[in-house]
Amino acid sequence: MGRKLLLEHINVPGINTFQVYKEKGGYRAVEKALKTMSSDDMVEEVKKSGLRGRGGAGFPTGMKWSFLAKPEGVPRYLVCNADESEPGTFKDRYLMTHIPHALIEGMIVGSYALGANTSYIYVRGEMMPQIRILEKAIAEAKAAGFLGKNILGSGYDLEIYVQPGGGAYICGEETALLESLEGKRGNPRIKPPFPAIAGLYGCPTVVNNVESIAATVPIVNEGGEEYAKIGIGRSTGTKLISASGNINKPGVYEIELGLSVEDFIYSDEYCGGIANGKRLKAVVAGGSSVPILPANLILNLANGDKRLMSYESLSEGGFATGTMLGSGGFVVLDEDQCIVRNTWNFSRFYHHESCGQCSPCREGTGWMEKVLHRLEYGHGKMSDIDLLVDVSKKIEGNTICPLGDAAAWPVASAIRHFRDEFEWHVKEPKLALEKNYGLAHYADPIKVAEEVSVN
């Protein structure tokens, strides 16, 4: 049984309320921070903890905090990125729904560490129920004196506001999020300057994921060094993993980093094995943007050791044989799933969600989707497969923000590991249609193709 830092009290009735959360030890971190620690102490503790950004990028949180510019007379901001919309990832929704005060407490200690007096939680607009939950939690914390003027008599003032997004995946990118928070289209900004220098309203700003902010609470409570003892190597602490797809027990799990992938998939404590007695075919381990891996590579490293749920182990071998921990969105595909269809589905997502600012992404994501579409619907050519690889290479690294890479990697990795399946779709389009759509369409493959326009 792994140690739980964020979800320890998840099953306690009423843990979503201030009263029960506090009875279970909540808001100790605020009292400790404001009464005994300086801002510099706080940053130092988070550095010692080794905490890495839980939104997907994995950048050291303490280092990010230490970059914050502190010019005189200029406000600073902490902005929480709760725009969770990476396919496969649903941990932040879970945390905000069930333990909203874990985020509010983290926002208070984080804001104090950064010297921010106004902070925003940018929540994707579709999460309106979670927005209401957070607003209630903020009101409760304020009524108890943990927000507002002169918190706990410390002289520190803080207001937290919740901002709804409008349904755009790109707003999960930190500079696009800031643009959106300023009331504009969510077009990513060119970096530098980084938000730490010029962020919200041109002021120094830190943008952190929900889980990263919540994780600062146990770090303050127990100390950075204690936190760093959990996990493995440079993958310290615990991580929320959102597990979905063809497994017996989909859901959000808190794991100690370093657990084996095999144990995570097959043990009853976590995913409980593959649903319906099927065999494992592939896994997208860190949200849809990371490379997909076939069963043998997700379970084992090249040297035969077990692959572990950690930043380093999942990425071992680079993109040739590895992937990324990313956001912890763990999507499991069983033996019946069609890789071409799954890749097309993800590709459609990235085409839909490209903000259109950079040509390689705007044009390339649409191009990839269309080619995958015709492969899926029985009109593909063998040359399409290399065309997809070529287009993905031309998008990767050539855009302002990482959405281009996110769109390219699933396609490139699917072809790298499952090329024979793409070729089968070209050679046997009728059989592929029958597999994915049933016998009715086997008789008339053109009918399927006409259901969605193919360009």
Partner 1 sequence: MLRVEEVQSVEFSSALILKFDEIVSRYPEGKSKSALLPILHEVQAVYGWLSSAAMDKVAEYLQIQSIEVYEVATFYTMFFLKPQGKFVLEVCRTGPCCLVGAEKIMDYIGDKLGVKEGEVTADGLFSYRGVECLAACGYAPVLQIGPEYTFYENLTPESVDQLIENLKNK
* Residues of this chain that bind partner 1 (CB under 8 A): 75, 84-90, 92-93, 118, 124-129, 161, 163-169, 180-186, 201, 242-246, 250-252, 284, 288, 329, 331, 333, 337, 341-342, 345-346, 348-349, 352-353, 355
Spell out where 167-323 has E strands: 205-209, 231-232, 235-236, 238-245, 251-256, 280-284, 292-294
CB of 258 to partner 1, least distance (A): 23
Smallest CA-to-CA distance from 407 within 397, 421, 417, 416 is with 397
CB of 262 to partner 1, least distance (A): 20
Give DSSP secondary structure letters for 6-54. Answer: SSTTTTSTTTTSHHHHHHTTTTHHHHHHHHH--HHHHHHHHHHHT-B-T
Q: Cα dihedral sign for 94, 97, 99, 100?
A: positive
Q: Which is nearer to partner 1, 87 or 360 (CB)?
A: 87
CB of 87 to partner 1, least distance (A): 4
CB of 379 to partner 1, least distance (A): 19
CB of 454 to partner 1, least distance (A): 17
Quote the DSSP letter at residue 158: B
Q: Which is nearer to partner 1, 70 or 427 (CB)?
A: 70
Exposed, middle or buried by CB within 10 Å (0-12, 13-18, 19+), for 303?
exposed
CB of 294 to partner 1, least distance (A): 16
Q: How crowded is the C-beta side of 290, counted as CA atoms within 13 Å?
A: 31
Q: Which is nearer to partner 1, 66 or 345 (CB)?
A: 345
Query: What token pair was written down for 327?
Result: 């956001």
What is the Cα–Cα distance from 327 to 285, expressed in whole angstroms? 9
49 conformational bin, left if phi > 0, alpha if psi -120 to 50, beta if neither: alpha
Q: Which is nearer to partner 1, 127 or 297 (CB)?
A: 127
CB of 415 to partner 1, least distance (A): 17
Q: Which is nearer to partner 1, 119 or 208 (CB)?
A: 119
What is the Cα–Cα distance from 271 to 242, expressed in whole angstroms? 10
Q: Which is nearer to partner 1, 194 or 346 (CB)?
A: 346
Q: How many Cβ atoms sit within 10 Å of the Cβ of residue 199?
A: 26
What is the Cα–Cα distance from 125 to 121, expressed in whole angstroms? 12
Q: Which is nearer to partner 1, 184 or 427 (CB)?
A: 184
